[in-house]
Structure 1
Amino acid sequence: MSLKQSLVAAMVGALAACSTPVSQAPATPVPTPREAPAGASGSAPPAAPAPAGPPIEREAARWQPVSWRELPGWQADAPLHAWPALLASCARPAPGWAAACASAKALASPDDARVRAWLDATLAPYRVTAHDGTAQGLITGYFEPLVAASRLRSKRYAHALYAPPHELAQHKPWYTRAEIGSLPVARAALAGREIAWVADPLDALLLQVQGSGRLLLTEPDGRKQTVRLAYAGHNDQPYRSVGRWLVERGAFTLEQASWPAIKAWARANPQRVGEMLNANPRYVFFREQPLPDPAVGPLGAQGVPLTPGRSIAVDPRAVPYGTPVWLDTTEPEAWSATPPPARALQRLVIAQDTGSAITGAVRADYFWGWAEGAEERAGRMKQPLRMWVLWPKA
């Protein structure tokens, strides 16, 4: 199971329901954009006539062949930064990619110029649209959380992260989140399945919505180590966004909805946190994995490690795993009554993940990684999007 294959969409997406990765969220409503994405209203140079040839029809998208000149900002990106992610995907190439991947692996001394030349010689660009021709969609963001945890329960660390109960596969749907917290039979099924304990129930929810994460874990002997939690299943209950639940109760507007806003509400209303959490019946289970190299990202749905800033989650019915994708969107900004001009986010990324909220043709979830600031940016990302795929030439 991928980083996003539990509930995924974006943090704001998933939590604000406003979408999780690999892994965990419901379909996300597209907000009314404050500003069109960079390049969507004239910032791209005039496109040359589209190349001859029919569009490629996918189950959930149509790819229209275009000129490289149509890709806004194409010449400004440093494609070498996406090269490691592309090579990682070539470890598990999509159908039609065998020759292109062999050529990529053979490229000597890659730099920006050589990579750009390889892309131009090997791949062709296609504009992604829905079957009805809609070319604008939504991008959200996700990240890999780092949460302090303890192997032992204590007054401080009182909220468990569980491995799947043994009966999970035979009992579908399994108990809801509220039932897990209240029914003796559900509690008994989870006895002894605790992986670790966290101090804040919102930390547990964060890990569940993102689908995976890192734990800074204190062992019983006081030793500390960092481990990874990977998605291992859920209770087969419907996902309900706590962000949407709060919006419906007037805590904030949909435009203001974000993970920071959810945390601020919880701090101000501690007596209602349980009620908020139980509004989401879905409950996610994990498995523990070692983390020998902290620089390596979690596995996405393609089965290869994700690269911060260069991996996205997509609907694989629209874009196959391993496909290079050109994004035309904007960077997330903190909500303001008078938002500043949006900064363009135009870059080459690789489709390597998916999530239950990531559905449709022009839909992506952008992996921000695990460094400082990733949570904030992922939590606020909910931008209009245009996208192009790069596919091996016939």
Structure 2
Amino acid sequence: MISALRRAMGIACLIGGAMTATGAQSEISYSLLNFSQLDGWENDNHAAALDVFQKTCMDFDDPDWRSLCAAAKQQKPEAARAFFELLFRPVLIEDGQGALFTGYFEPELDGSRSRSSRYRYPIYRMPPEARNAGQWLPRREILTSGVMDGRGLEIAWVDDSVELFFLQIQGSGRVRLPDGSTIRVGYGGSNGHNYRSIGQELVRRGVYSIHQVSAQVIKNWVRRNPSDGRELLMHNPTYVFFREVRNVASSAGPLGAMNRSVTALRSLAVDPKYTPLGAPVWLEKDGDGKMRRLMVAQDTGSAIKGAQRADIFYGTGDEAGQAAGRLRDPGRMVVLLPIQRAYALLPEDI
């Protein structure tokens, strides 16, 4: 997956009336909707969503999902909307928490296969002794004790330690080499320490208010304050290691939690406790750049917790990063489930 740790800092770190299922987990409710109750449903590009759904639906194990996947493979683009309306039902899943949508992206860094005066900051593979350690050395010791030196664990060297820190948060990215080629890196493990948000730390110090903090604001502050900035990055003890990804086309997105490429503005990271990975999800994001579109739940993230919490994949590079970093909006998400599965969530007396 893109990373079990990425985005952990929390920046960016009914037919008629409602039909509610309550029980042992009374905080979770399921409301069956009509497609006519999905704001903007008729205006979306359903064929684009169908294409994304087809790319991961074969990974479902359950017979009902597999049957839907087989049917999806037979659909022509112009029949996409009818396919979803015929074989799915929209289900609003709520847990008492308000909806929150943020964004993520695949960063691009400048680097080299070898160290030089410009390219001084290493992207490391995971050391063998860290794999089964549970909790290994914290960030400070990894970077200052020399434990990584001379072991050939470097995948590449990059020219910006701040961008490298944020690469670890995203969990995957690309490195542009001097000859114009690129290396793609994916999440390879971590040192097992809990993430400490450097954004929250700046708020705690009174440097910024919570509404001012974004990835770009943090980067700018660290660069303006190099000594204090380096120490701020050490506030987070988590360290992410990488692996080189060779089997993904350069035109495709990074691998999500389903080990399939994610698609810009059609793939979501969700909490799989509430939303099945691979399921279509209707997104109604409010705020600036209102969004109404059918997406697919193809990824997860440690900060993505809750029935109405999701992260939108914005693509690759600086422009995608800027758009993702600004996003922190309310709205609503509705999961499309196979018909029998959707009705099974409702109370028997409905």
TM-score norm. by structure 2 comes to: 0.90
Q: How big is the shift at 1:154?
A: 1.4
Q: Give 1:362's aligned residue.
A: 308
Task: Supply the AA of the counterpart residue of 2:29.
Answer: R
Q: Give 1:155's aligned residue.
A: 117
Q: What pairs up with 1:1-394 in 2 under 5 angstroms? A: 2-5=1-4, 7-9=5-7, 14-15=8-9, 17-18=10-11, 28=13, 49-50=16-17, 61-93=28-60, 95=62, 96-107=64-75, 109-111=76-78, 114-130=79-95, 134=96, 136-184=98-146, 186-188=147-149, 191-218=151-178, 223-290=179-246, 293-330=249-286, 342-371=288-317, 373-394=319-340
Q: How big is the shift at 1:63?
A: 2.6
The alpha-carbon distance between structure 1 residues 63 and 145, as it changes in their structure 2 partners (threshold 3 A), is: same
In 2, distance between residues paired with 1:359 and 1:281?
Answer: 22
Number of residue equivalences: 339
Gaps of 5+ in 2: 341-350
* Worse-matched range after superposition: 169-178 or 142-151: 169-178
In 2, distance between residues paired with 1:275 and 1:53?
Answer: 49
Gaps of 5+ in 1: 20-27, 29-46, 332-341
Q: How big is the shift at 1:296?
A: 0.8
In 2, distance between residues paired with 1:81 and 1:360?
Answer: 26
In 2, distance between residues paired with 1:214 and 1:282?
Answer: 21
Tell me the SS of whatever aligns to 2:324: helix
Q: Is the 8 A contact 2:107 2:318 kept in 1?
A: no
In 2, distance between residues paired with 1:76 and 1:297?
Answer: 25
Identity %, equivalent residues: 38
Q: How big is the shift at 1:54?
A: 5.8
Q: Is the 8 A contact 1:228 1:291 kept in 2?
A: no
The alpha-carbon distance between structure 1 residues 149 and 64, as it changes in their structure 2 partners (threshold 3 A), is: same
Task: Supply the AA of the counterpart residue of 1:197.
Answer: W
The alpha-carbon distance between structure 1 residues 57 and 392, as it changes in their structure 2 partners (threshold 3 A), is: farther
Q: How big is the shift at 1:62?
A: 3.5
Q: How big is the shift at 1:126?
A: 0.7
* Worse-matched range after superposition: 367-376 or 118-127: 367-376
In 1, distance between residues paired with 2:177 and 2:25?
Answer: 44
Superposed structure 1 runs of 4+ greater than 4 Å apart: 50-61
The alpha-carbon distance between structure 1 residues 283 and 144, as it changes in their structure 2 partners (threshold 3 A), is: same
Q: How big is the shift at 1:299?
A: 1.2
What is the aligned-residue RMSD (CA, Å)?
A: 2.3
